[in-house]
Structure 1
Amino acid sequence: MSARPKTVLILEDDEEFASTVRDILEEQDYRVTVVPNGAVGVQRILANDNWGENGDAPDVAATAAQVYAFPLPSGSKDAAFAVTLTPAIYTVQASGVGGATGVALV
């Protein structure tokens, strides 16, 4: 494992999976948490439910293009992050906005 920070792309696009997965969660809320090295408990570091409404939208779009991910439509309700993380233990949780239920692929 490298001790250097890494930029990661975390995204979901329900339109890409709707034809093969039933009961897709149409609007997701993502939360990224970290367990700091040697610490007890977790800290929430990011939250997102509409990728294009965040200040990092240009970074998300550029990173998605750089790694040949599917394009995220402007104005979509997809959740997505492009974030540089230091080595640690992270979790990504997906839930439905407004209590919605369904399948989320992270």
Structure 2
Amino acid sequence: MRGSAYVPVSAAVALLVSSSTLFFTFTCPWLAQHVSLSLPSCVGILFLFVMANFTMATLMDAGVFPRANEDEDKDDDFRAPLYKNVEVRGVQTTQMLPLQRL
């Protein structure tokens, strides 16, 4: 990874950790006293999961998604028409075709 790629990651980590620190410092004691003593521990576990997922997403290689060929793109079954035009008493309307089962 280039040096410039660390700037957004560092900013996101700093924002996440600083806002969580402020929450645990000022809000969690009040929540533990007035709401429930188990609430800060649940939020702490959730914070650990968020940090673990953020770390995994930062360090994991996304890989390369190859582009589809022209022939492969044209053979897509999802492009089949779902509607057809029907004439009812001289008025052109659109009728939805039934879905086919595989």
Going by fraction, where is helix more abundant, 1 or 2?
2
Work out which of the two has the higher radius of gyration on C-alpha atoms and give 1 or 2.
Answer: 2
TM-score when scaled to structure 2?
0.18
Going by fraction, where is strand more abundant, 1 or 2?
1
TM-score when scaled to structure 1?
0.18
Point out which structure has higher relative CO (alpha carbons under 8 A, 6+ apart): 1
